[in-house]
Structure 1
C-alpha cells in the first residue's frame, strides 16, 4: 500500500491521521484480510513520528476490531467472520420435520459447515429473570443446556437454554445430543406444540469469558438475543440466552404490514 503524509494543519492528532489512512486502505481493499500492516518501526520512519504515536495508531485499529496482533509476527487485518443471515423463519416447523435444528438449517443456507461443542447439561434453580419468563414457582428447577456454535471451525455464538425441569427431565432434551430437529422437535414430541417466539435483541461489549470462548479480538461487540418459546396453550417452555459475535451475523425480520 502507498502510505500518505501527516497534515500538520489537521485538528486530529497524528496517530488518528495514521489510523485513518490505514483504515481507508482496508476499506478500499489495498490491505486485505490476512495482510500484515506496516510495523511500528516502518510507520515511525515513514511519518517521522515517535514510536508511541505509531503504536497508538495501530491500537486504534485494534480497538475497533479491524486488526489483530500475532505475537512475534506482527499486526494483521482481521479475517472476516462467516456472516450468517438469521431469517424470520429459522424456527419454522419445516426445519424440525426435516431433522434440522435452527443453527444447522441456517448454516446450510449460508453454505458453511456447522459444529457444536462445549455442551453441558445440568439442573439448577433458575435466576429470577428466567423464573419470571418461564412463569415458574419458587422451588421449581430448570434444565440448563449450554453450548457453543462454530461455522467453518470458527466460534460465532454461545447459547444457554433454560427449560422447566418437569418438562425436560427424563427426555432426550437432557442428553448432550437431543436428536434430529433439536430440542424444539423434542418439545413437540412431548406434546408442547410450539406456537410462537418472542426475541429481545441488545448489543454490548463481551465479558472476558465470552471474548475467550468466541475468540474475539479487542473492540468487537456482541449481540445478545434472549428468546422465549411458547406452546399453543400460551405456556413459555424455553428461554434461550444467546451471545453472538456481532460481525458474524445479520438479523433479518419479516414484519407483516397489517
Structure 2
C-alpha cells in the first residue's frame, strides 16, 4: 500500500481503509494477525501515533480485537442466528419447541436459557402501551439470557397481563413444551398475529457485559407483541441481541 500524502483523507484513515478492505475481501480471515504498531510504523513510514489511530478505527468498527500477549487479530464471529418469519409457527409449538429453540436446532447448536428474574414488576411505559394497560400497572415478567453454541445471544424479557398467567407454568422457570405461547393457547388465547419492531443502537455497559460484546458492536432491539384472535395483546417480548450474530429474514407475499 502506498500512502497518498496529498489526499484530504488523513493517513491513519487510509491505513484503516487498507486493512478494512483486506478483511472484507477475506484476505485477512477471522483470527488472522495484523501487524503491530511498530511494524506499521516501519512499513508505512508513519509515526507510532498514526498507526495507533488506524488500529483504533478498526477496533471501534468491531473488525479487530487486541489482547495482551496476542496482539491485534481479525475478530472471530460466533454462530449466526437466522431469525425467519416462520420461527413462531404453531407447528414448532406442537413439536414442543419455542422460537429460540427452533432456531438453534435448525443451526445444529446446543441452546439453553438462563433465568434472571421471574415475578411481578410495574409495567414500563413502552410495555404498558402495547398491552393496553396503565403505566406501572403490575405485569408478570420472564427475564432471561439466551445461550446458543456456548455464547450469550440475547437478553429477552417477556411481559404478560397478570390474569393470563396466574396458575400456569408461565410463572415457573420451565414453561413446558412449546413455551409460553403454547400455554396461552391452552388457556384459550389462540394467537392470530405478531407485530415486530426493530431498531439498532449501541449497547449499554450492562448489555456489553451480559452479551460479551466486543468494542464497536451494536445491538438490535426487537419488540414483539403477540395478539390473540380476540384482538387482545397477550404478551410483549422485549429483547436485545448482538447485531453481528443475528440475521433477520422476512418473507412477504407479493399480494
Same fold? TM cut 0.5: yes
Task: Tell me the matched-pair count.
Answer: 255
Residues 120, 176 of structure 1: 8 Å contact kept: no
The Cα of 1:138 is off from its aligned counterpart by 6.4
Any unmatched runs of 5+ in structure 2?
A: none
Match of 2:219 in 1: 222
For 2:173 and 2:63, how far apart are their aligned partners in 1?
36
For 1:183 and 1:103, how far apart are their aligned partners in 2?
12
TM-score by length of 2: 0.95
The Cα of 1:139 is off from its aligned counterpart by 6.8
Given candidates 46, 50, 63, the residue that maps to 1:49 is 46
Segments ≥4 residues shifted beyond 3 Å: 137-140
Match of 2:36 in 1: 39
1:173-210: per-residue Cα shift (whole Å, max 9, x none)? Answer: 11111111111111112221111111111111111111
The Cα of 1:72 is off from its aligned counterpart by 3.1
Match of 2:172 in 1: 175
For 2:148 and 2:52, how far apart are their aligned partners in 1?
33
Match of 1:97 in 2: 94
Residue 241 in 1 paired to residue 241 in 2? Answer: no
Match of 1:65 in 2: 62
1:26-66: per-residue Cα shift (whole Å, max 9, x none)? Answer: 12222111122111111112112111111100010011110
Q: How does 1:1-258 map to 2 (within 5 A)?
A: 4-137=1-134, 140-258=137-255
For 1:170 and 1:154, how far apart are their aligned partners in 2?
33
Let me know the Cα RMSD of the aligned residues: 1.5
Any unmatched runs of 5+ in structure 1?
A: none
The Cα of 1:160 is off from its aligned counterpart by 0.7
- Going from structure 1 to structure 2, the CA distance change for 1:79 and 1:139 (only over 3 Å counts) comes to closer
The Cα of 1:137 is off from its aligned counterpart by 4.4
For 1:72 and 1:93, how far apart are their aligned partners in 2?
50
For 2:19 and 2:80, how far apart are their aligned partners in 1?
24
TM-score by length of 1: 0.94
